[in-house]
Structure 1
Amino acid sequence: MKTPTCRGRNGRLFPQIQAGGACDGARAGRHRRLDRSSRGHPGGDQLIICDLLTDPSALRFEPFREGIEAAWLHRDPDGGAAAAVLRYRPGARAPRHRHAGWERVIVISGSQADAQGLIKAGDFALNAPGTEHEVVSEEGCLVLLVWERQPIMLE
């Protein structure tokens, strides 16, 4: 059986990312090796992640903080832009940090809270540069996080 792949406009494979042409329904065998090519993410100019909301299990997670794992979609090695799916275990806490750029958060499942309140599955949060917070997830959650610049950890 041929393994399907996702490709960007430049034709490069999207490794470790869910595949299937341009999300054409072919969904088996979705792990690939990351191609750290131009513009700091797999595929160059465009990244397609098939089934992120319905099947994030195909992503490869690695330890990020205690109780939190990250599946990096893009990560500038010099602290610039980054995007990841974060998986919080129940009770996990992201320590206090300051945003060096805009942070965008979409909660895929579960919920998380900071001093501003609770955000749950389907919610979107936008944190401005210079803001500080710590985040806790009592029930555990899965979030898509996009940073304009990676945050500065204060704890």
Structure 2
Amino acid sequence: MSAHRSRGRSTPPLPFHLPAPRDSGQWTPLLDGVRMRLLHPGSRNHARVALLRYEAGACVPWHRHSGDEHVYVLEGEQQDERGRYAAGSYVFNPAQSGHSVQSPRGCLVLIHWLGPVVFEAAPHSSLPVDPSRNPPC
């Protein structure tokens, strides 16, 4: 566990919690059909944590992870090029791995990631990816 320095002493990070999420203004659009609720903003060297809610049929186009990503499927099901992940599934995407994500019936996931996510053309495509337009996955 990392520690903070204060006047030469090492102190543990302060714990915190957020109230239970509600479908209110705390959710922000990420892409068409995908909303995010940031739980911990992280920083350059510390992981970010968020809830992502996918509407039925939503997808996130191919992207590469510059750092490790951990995903826990809380409700529904999502899938990528490597398989389908039902509620209760844990998915680990190591740094420099890439994938696109779809949720045919919708889902809610808890995601924990380090470093930026880079949207780029899928390895099998020469077309550039524009994540703001959320092209079909």
TM-score past 0.5 threshold:
yes
Could you tell me which runs of 5 or more consecutive residues in structure 1 were left unpaired when the two chains were aligned: 1-43
Indicate whether 1:118 and 2:91 are aligned: no
Match of 2:7 in 1: none
C-alpha contact 1:82 1:150 (8 A) present in aligned 2 = no
- Letter of the 1:48 partner, please give it: H
Task: Give the whole-Å Cα distance in 2 for the aligned partners of 1:134 and 1:153.
Answer: 10
C-alpha contact 1:81 1:150 (8 A) present in aligned 2 = no
C-alpha contact 2:42 2:49 (8 A) present in aligned 1 = no
Match of 1:134 in 2: 100
Indicate whether 1:85 and 2:54 are aligned: no
Q: Larger relative contact order (C-alpha < 8 A, sep ≥ 6)?
A: 2
Q: What TM-score, normalized by structure 1, do the two folds share?
A: 0.63
Per-residue CA deviations over 1:16-67 (Å, capped at 9, x if unaligned) read xxxxxxxxxxxxxxxxxxxxxxxxxxxx73233466xxxx436721101111
Match of 2:22 in 1: 57
Q: What TM-score, normalized by structure 2, do the two folds share?
A: 0.70
Task: Give the whole-Å Cα distance in 2 for the aligned partners of 1:49 and 1:120.
Answer: 26
Match of 1:100 in 2: 66
Bigger share in strand: 2
CA RMSD of aligned residues (A): 2.1
The equivalent position to 2:15 in structure 1, one of 43, 46, 65, is 46
Task: Give the whole-Å Cα distance in 2 for the aligned partners of 1:107 and 1:68.
Answer: 14
Shift >3 Å, 4+ stretches: 76-80
Per-residue CA deviations over 1:64-100 (Å, capped at 9, x if unaligned) read 1111000001224669631110000000001111010
**Percent identical:** 33
